[in-house]
Amino acid sequence: MVVAKIIVIVGLPGVGKTTVLNKSVELLKERQYIVKVVNFGDFMFKYLLNKGLIKTRDDIRKLPLSQQRTAQQEAAKEIRKVFEEEAAEVRKYVGFVDTHALIKTPTGNWPGLPAHVIEELRPDSIIVVEAKPEEIVSRQLRDKTRYRADYAKVNLIEELLKLNRIFAISSAVLVGASVNFIHNKEGKLEEAAKEIADIVENI
């Protein structure tokens, strides 16, 4: 049985994580990889929506911790299952999980990849996409599809960037995954994307 390379990619809202990831996917496909990208929040959203517990994605981080834990674990199990099934007949397969290492909530910063999640996913690497705090705030304010006013402060972003690293490293330790930090510089998208593609190639 062929085992999928599984990569968790995290970053604060506004770092350009999804844009960088999409470009990385293009590069990996050029290198003959079959690539699957899943958004962890989509799996959680589907589970919680079906339970009637939320109406929008931003409602997820407002739920009690117990409900989030259950949804996280169920999402992780389903994602791992999807990757393993699709990779069974493919030699060069990589599955990306687009998610967050931490979630800022009214009751504190919660881990996006706690033990019951990371041990289900068992990724080979956790990639942390970062950017300058000022750039992150600017991108957040331009994104009219999500409500992120509680994030849009430079000093808060600086603190969360540090915490994001700590949370990502802590999760990686639990499963022996590598950790990489990719800086998404303005106008340097291809550079950041190539770094990610090279990490996948070398795992």
Q: What is the CATH number of the domain that holds 93?
A: 3.40.50.300
The tens digit of pLDDT for each residue in 64-118 reads: 888 888 999 999 999 999 999 999 888 899 999 999 999 887 778 889 999 999 9
Tokens of 77: 């199990």
Dihedral-angle region of residue 112 (phi above 0 means left; psi in -120 to 50 means alpha; beta otherwise): alpha
Domains: count for the chain: 1
Assess contact for 105 and 23: CB atoms under 8 A. no
d(CA 156, CA 140): 13
User: 198 vs 15, 31, 146, 170, CA distance in Å?
Assistant: 20, 10, 31, 23
**Residue 12 clears pLDDT 70, i.e. is over it:** yes
Give the domain extent around 128. 5-202
**Closest by Cα among 136, 140, 139 to 149:** 140
Q: Which two three-digit tokens encode residue 201? A: 């190639």
Tokens of 9: 């990619």
User: Can you give the pLDDT at residue 152?
Assistant: 67
3-state secondary structure of 132: coil
Cβ–Cβ under 8 Å, residues 200 and 5:
yes
How far apart, in Å, are the Cα atoms of 49 and each of 52, 57, 99, 102, 202? 5, 9, 18, 21, 38
Q: How confident is the model at residue 201 (pLDDT cuts 50, 70, 90)?
A: very high
pTM: 0.87
Residue 126, pLDDT > 90, answer yes
